[in-house]
Structure 1
Amino acid sequence: MRKYNSRKRILVTGGAGFLGSHLIDRLLGRGDEVVCVDNLFTGSKRNVEHLFDNPRFEFIRHDVTFPLFIEVDQIYNLACPASPVHYQHDPVQTTKTSVHGAINMLGLAKRVRARIFQASTSEVYGDPSMHPQIEEYWGNVNPIGQRSCYDEGKRCAETLFFDYHRQHGLDIRVARIFNTYGPRMHPNDGRVVSNFIVQALNDEDITLYGDGQQTRSFCFVDDLVEGFLRFMDIPNDEGHQYGFPGPINLGNPCEFTIRQLAELVIRLTGSKSKLVFRPLPLDDPKQRQPDIALAKKMLNWEPRIELEAGLKRTVEYFERELSSAS
């Protein structure tokens, strides 16, 4: 295998998805070779079609619940539906993707001695009793609820990553991703940012659950991908036998209520939408805010793009998408 100071051949699972496609753009932009693997359940070829003529890009349609045999230097494991609408559509398959997918990618990393990144989630903290959430917090998760396929699937994947690290000396990186938004979000994924923008652009009622006072922290995708790259590129000579494995929180610590987000989207779109309220879904977290002190220390990283600036770029993307579809 090539050494880390030369051009890398990098596998990105879930590479045709929202986060994966932005990550691939950055990897190709710095000169790496990228193999994009996606079964296109929630990902889309449209997210990567601008790369098809790039000789350093390769697309493979494949489901990570089945083994994959390929020679690579690094692996970013991003494959898994990440929105409640999608991961609750087939909850058994969601758990399989998190658990079997982790086993298969860890087995591949062990065979080729690749460094491997796991896209974990703030959902491992559940409906947190600690605020903001630090990496040492073990979480408050319902193991048998409607969201458990995703929450517990990701928690089990973290267990597998650290057991492979301890038992086999695998070079791992585990990042816990908080709410992220930006261009290429799926318009029907049920996430709050895409929901509000699509509803506002169509002058439809904007749906809030509960009283709208539950909080979230929103990180623009460019900032998040920068955190991915800095985390993955920590060398193995800084006092850690295998670099810094994590887990590490990656997200924006600026906290907003869901109602504040809705009102900001209405203002940015000039929409005539009205706010309507529905019952709060089961196990929906009331607060979600990362403590990113560890990311600041280890990666010299923190988000730079403020919510209004990022939302403007996201609104422009959805405006183009909706106009092209009409």
Structure 2
Amino acid sequence: MTETKAASSQTPAAAVPRTEQWVAEVEQLFREREPGAFFVLPRVVRRVWQSELEIASPWVPPPHRKSCVIERDRLLWLVARDELGVDADTPLPQRLILIARPEEDRLHNFSREDLLRYYWRLLFHARIDFDLGPKTTPARMTVAELRSRIDALGQTQFDEIRSVLRTEQMLLHSDDPRHVYAEFVAVWHELHAFVPGLLPLYFPSLDNEEAVLRAIGPDCDAVALLEATRPCDLSPTMVIPFTPLSGDVAEALLEGSQIHLASRSPRKYAAIVRHANQLRVAGNNVRAALVRRQAFDVAPLDLMNEARQELLREIEFLVLRIQAALELTDDEVRPWLAMCERLLPAARRGFWNANARL
């Protein structure tokens, strides 16, 4: 009888899944660093953005759906306190940050270290959004000041920034240059802090890091925010850099290429590259990769290495977008790179039905 009582008394503790226990511990670590941040179900963040952006259809995914900054009174119209994990007597700050948890079916793939790094990155980005929101209003940043920052980056580069962020569904108001600038600052600092190797893939025309920092640095103390959002038991050295395609994959992508001098034309190469760039801007990275493979076949000898690097960059950017869309960990995304090794050489030949093969 005593043993039965002892076993039954342990049941409630054992009923709590271990994953939920350490996830709650991780979230508490971040709450201690940033009391105004709340970790909620993904649907809560989507609901807030759908209301704020007046998206009528529940099937249309809102942009920037992994985090949001919102006024307290507005939030309480949309979200119940129990969804925030607080009771009715808990005071809330004037402005809050909502961070979307990974989807339930994805959470079991996260280790504790993965989740720490995942939340740190999202919170760092959200804190920049939190700080830049008031700073980029017309009352704080004049049109001339905004124009000077855009000119420092370059108008062509700023157009590329807008296109990339729109494609990645990061812009709430793509026609507002203030919002585009503020979101760029957050995205650029996020990538620079966590995966600097991806900056050339996201923003290929911004090849001067020092010039970018001079343009956006005064508006955001990224170093201080990065440290302020880091949980105490996570070392700054735990940031994992992006791993580019291996040499084996690169060779497989170029499999079957033969150097025919007669077919290599600078004019034809330039035209194909322009087409590939247009496809990238439109967000069609699969087609862009296939077109860049064609560009390699016609590239002049002195441009073959450049064509090869652009092809690899396109594949890396494609895999990056897949990783972001599916919320894959770094380990889970590696098979996608390997899959590109096998698919691209065959895909460039196009689809052949039975009649075409005859």
- Name which structure has the greater RCO, CA cutoff 8 Å, separation 6+: 1
What is the TM-score of this pair, normalised by structure 2?
Answer: 0.28
Q: Which has the higher strand share?
A: 1
Structure with larger Rg: 2
Q: Which has the higher helix share?
A: 2
